Structure formats: structure tokens, C-alpha cells
Amino acid sequence: MGPLQEQPAKIQIITLEMAPRFSVRGSRAAIATRSEEKEHDAMRMQEIDIHDYARQLFEARGDKAVVEAAQKARSLEEQGQREEAQTWRQVEAALKLMRGPHAS
């Protein structure tokens, strides 16, 4: 081959087994997976924050912390603030886990 002749382009043959990797559907799934991972990380961080707050509340209020969290959740529910009330229900649940089982 001389210096002016082009080399033939390499052609990749895609078999049926390889095709799903190159589909648009696969790309959308990858994007959705990344989005779900980010959402999961955000939810995980919120869960950590809730448990941290519950621990601090338990250290400050002791057993009264559970009642306080439940009252706060109920008050917010009555005001129609569902999202905030749900957070306080999660704090209440975390406090109950920290408190452990009741002695009989």
C-alpha cells in the first residue's frame, strides 16, 4: 500500500447477543438506574439524619422522647403537613428501636 491509499475501516459485526447493549432501551435503563441510585443515596442520608436526630433527642429527653415525637407527628398530621409528620413518625420508630423491648 502506498502512502496515499487509505487503510480499510474496521467493521464490527454486532450479533444478536450483543444487540441489547446498544439499544436505546438499555441506555434509558442505565439512566434510570443512576437516578434510582442517587435517590437511594439521598434516602439513606435522610435515614441516617433521622437516626442521628432520634439519638440526640433520646439523650436529651430519655423515655419522654418517644411521646414527644408522637405528639409532634400527630400535631403535624392535624395541620395537614403529611411529609413533616411522616418524618416525625420515622423519628418515633427510631426512638422505639433505641429503647429496646419492654421488660415484663
Question: In this structure, are residues 71 and 97 in contact, taking their beta carbons and an 8 Å threshold?
Answer: no
* CA 95 to the chain's CA centroid: 21
pLDDT digits (tens, 9 = 90+) for 40-99: 666 666 888 899 999 999 999 998 999 999 999 999 999 999 999 999 999 999 999 988
Query: Which H or E run contains 71?
Result: helix 64-78
Per-residue model confidence (pLDDT) at position 20:
46
Q: Please state, in angstroms and rounded to a whole number, the distance separating the CA atoms of residues 34 and 81.
A: 30
Cα–Cα dist 3/62, whole Å = 85
pTM of structure: 0.58
Closest-CA residue to 97 (of 49, 61, 65): 65
pLDDT beyond 80 at 27: no
Cα(58)–Cα(95) distance, integer angstroms: 7
